[in-house]
Protein backbone atom coordinates (compact mmCIF):
# COMPACT_ATOMS: atom_id res chain seq x y z
CA UNK A 1 0.00 0.00 0.00
CA UNK A 2 1.26 3.44 -0.70
CA UNK A 3 0.15 7.02 -0.90
CA UNK A 4 1.22 9.51 -3.55
CA UNK A 5 -0.31 12.78 -2.35
CA UNK A 6 1.84 15.73 -1.28
CA UNK A 7 -0.26 16.12 1.90
CA UNK A 8 -0.19 12.49 2.97
CA UNK A 9 -3.10 10.85 4.67
CA UNK A 10 -3.24 7.76 6.83
CA UNK A 11 -3.43 4.58 4.81
CA UNK A 12 -5.88 3.14 7.31
CA UNK A 13 -8.24 6.00 8.24
CA UNK A 14 -7.51 8.87 5.81
CA UNK A 15 -6.57 11.33 8.56
CA UNK A 16 -3.91 13.77 7.39
CA UNK A 17 -0.48 12.70 8.66
CA UNK A 18 1.66 15.46 10.14
CA UNK A 19 5.13 15.76 8.61
CA UNK A 20 8.31 16.87 10.38
CA UNK A 21 9.97 20.02 9.05
CA UNK A 22 12.52 17.93 7.16
CA UNK A 23 11.28 14.44 6.46
CA UNK A 24 13.97 11.78 6.00
CA UNK A 25 13.67 8.54 4.08
CA UNK A 26 12.79 5.93 6.68
CA UNK A 27 11.09 8.33 9.09
CA UNK A 28 8.27 6.73 11.05
CA UNK A 29 5.14 8.87 11.30
CA UNK A 30 2.14 8.04 13.46
CA UNK A 31 -1.43 8.88 12.51
CA UNK A 32 -3.09 11.18 15.05
CA UNK A 33 -6.42 9.61 14.24
CA UNK A 34 -5.86 5.88 14.61
CA UNK A 35 -2.21 5.53 15.68
CA UNK A 36 -1.16 3.59 12.56
CA UNK A 37 2.55 4.01 11.91
CA UNK A 38 3.82 4.83 8.44
CA UNK A 39 7.28 4.90 6.93
CA UNK A 40 8.45 7.64 4.57
CA UNK A 41 9.63 5.81 1.44
CA UNK A 42 9.99 8.83 -0.86
CA UNK A 43 10.48 12.48 0.02
CA UNK A 44 9.85 14.33 -3.27
CA UNK A 45 6.93 14.01 -3.26
CA UNK A 46 6.26 12.45 0.10
CA UNK A 47 5.11 8.87 -0.18
CA UNK A 48 4.16 6.69 2.76
CA UNK A 49 3.84 2.97 3.27
CA UNK A 50 2.71 1.09 6.33
CA UNK A 51 5.63 0.92 8.75
CA UNK A 52 7.39 -2.42 9.05
CA UNK A 53 6.62 -4.54 12.09
CA UNK A 54 9.45 -5.30 14.50
CA UNK A 55 10.99 -8.62 13.45
CA UNK A 56 12.91 -11.22 15.39
CA UNK A 57 16.24 -10.25 13.86
CA UNK A 58 16.02 -6.59 14.82
CA UNK A 59 18.42 -5.27 17.39
CA UNK A 60 21.82 -3.88 18.12
Q: Per-residue x/- marks for other proteins, 7-26, CB under 8 A?
A: -----------------xxx
59 makes contact with other proteins (CB under 8 A): yes
The yes or no reply on residue 27 touching other proteins (CB under 8 A) is yes
Indicate which single residue of 19, 33, 39, 50 sits in contact with other proteins (rule: CB under 8 A). Answer: 39
Q: Is 46 helix (H, G, I), strand (E, B) or coil?
A: strand
Bridge partners, residue 48, by sequence: 3, 40
Q: Are strands 37-43 and 46-50 parallel, antiparallel or unpaired?
A: antiparallel
**How far, in Å, CA of 36 to CA of 13, rounded?**
9
Task: Give 9 or 51: the residue with its C-beta nearer to other proteins.
Answer: 51
Amino acid sequence: MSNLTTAPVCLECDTEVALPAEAELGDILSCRGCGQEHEVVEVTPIRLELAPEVEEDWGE
